[in-house]
Amino acid sequence: MDLEAARPRLPALTSLRFFAAFHVVIFHLQAMKIVQGPVWYEKLAAVGYVGVSFFFVLSGFILVYTYAGRTLSLKDFWRARFARIYPAYAFSLLFTAPWFFIAVLKFDIPFFAWPKAHLKLAAGLVVALMQAWVPPAALTWNPVAWSLSVEAFFYLLFPFLLLLLVRRTQPQLLLIAAAAWLASLTFSTTYVVLNPDHLTVVNADVLNAFWLNALKFHPLARLPEFLLGMACGFLFLRSRRENKFALPLVLFGIAGVGLAAYFEAAIPYPLLHTALLAPVFAAIVYGFALKPRWSAVMENRLLVLCGDASYSLYLLHSMIMGMYFHNTTGQLRFQSFAGIFVFVLIAVGFSAFVYRFIEEPARRKLNPRRKQQLGQPQSQTPSEPALA
């Protein structure tokens, strides 16, 4: 299929971003001992960190869908990516700064041991989107922002990776996708076998292990997920888009997530955290990108708005969670169903507000070309890369 062919928007993929971000939210609700639920919920929440892997795969896919076969100016691309991620990122740093600096300067909290000893360096790395390159610094300031440090690296490489993949045949693209997945599995399996941090237990509660943090957060360790998404994006553009494959692909993906959640205790944590489910996520993305009729529910305007706001939700939810559920003495409150429901409304509503009045205005100001794009016919307007 011609890469220059008109490409309609894929609003269902925007909606999917909300569900991936919300999966991360419920993971933190469980990790902070705020919410307890039935067994199925506990298992699903326990693997919520895999939502970030979904974002990496989706980002590679949608960037290819947007830019492949089209003239790409490095300056314009990088300016557009900066305008896309940095305004909300900067706001999240301002929003979380008081809590972070008070915690580092006034208290001796083990989680903040490294930034306390290297505060200027740690803060500089975060502001420069470089924290993921230094494993002890990855969770500094706003912990969830490590993934934006990784995304920034992907954006830096994307124009060059695009040139490498654009001439690949379909069999070669399949091989690249498989090789990327196997590379990630090799990284994770090597860690499990060697256990370089000498841990007796390896799970999501381990936060200061150097090599585990390198595996989880380092941009090079997460690059294969992005590559897999890019390869799938090219396969999508070059294949006949037959809707009959959409449902099997999505069901396969959902089943994969469900099985991973059910057997979470039996799967080594490093393996599950980093890329094990990347093919599963690629199947879900590919299935919804085929735009089957039944996916129209995912194009609901409210869901798409939630998807648009999911980036801010991802960046801000941990701080909102701490402020809402903990009183001044650190005790938990509002743990009833009604209290949790109000939290969700506040978190999503505030994120939508940030998207509408901070994220988008700053983006238009930083990237004037976007105004021109918004005036184009829908089939010619580049769709927006999905971010976490």
The predicted-structure confidence for 339-361, as pLDDT tens digits, reads as follows 999 999 999 999 999 999 999 99
Q: Is the pLDDT of residue 380 over 50?
A: no
Q: Is the pLDDT of residue 200 over 90?
A: yes
Please report, as a single letter, which amino acid is at residue 71.
T
Q: Report pLDDT for 36.
A: 84
Neighbours of 370 (CB within 10 A): 19
* Single pTM value for the model: 0.93
Spatial separation of the C-alpha atoms in residues 216 and 201, rounded to whole Å: 16
Instruction: List the beta bridge partners of residue 326.
Output: 332
Q: Is the pLDDT of residue 259 over 50?
A: yes
Q: Report pLDDT for 29.
A: 95
CA distances from 302 to 15, 199, 318, 338, 354 (A): 9, 45, 23, 22, 16
Q: How confident is the model at residue 371 (pLDDT cuts 50, 70, 90)?
A: low
Q: How confident is the model at residue 160 (pLDDT cuts 50, 70, 90)?
A: very high
When the pLDDT of each residue in the chain is averaged and rounded to a whole number, the result is 92
The residue-averaged pLDDT of 203-223 equals: 95
Domains of the chain: which residue ranges?
A: 11-380
Q: Given the structure tokens 């990122």, which residue do they identify? A: 89
pLDDT tens digits along 40-61: 999 999 999 999 999 999 999 9
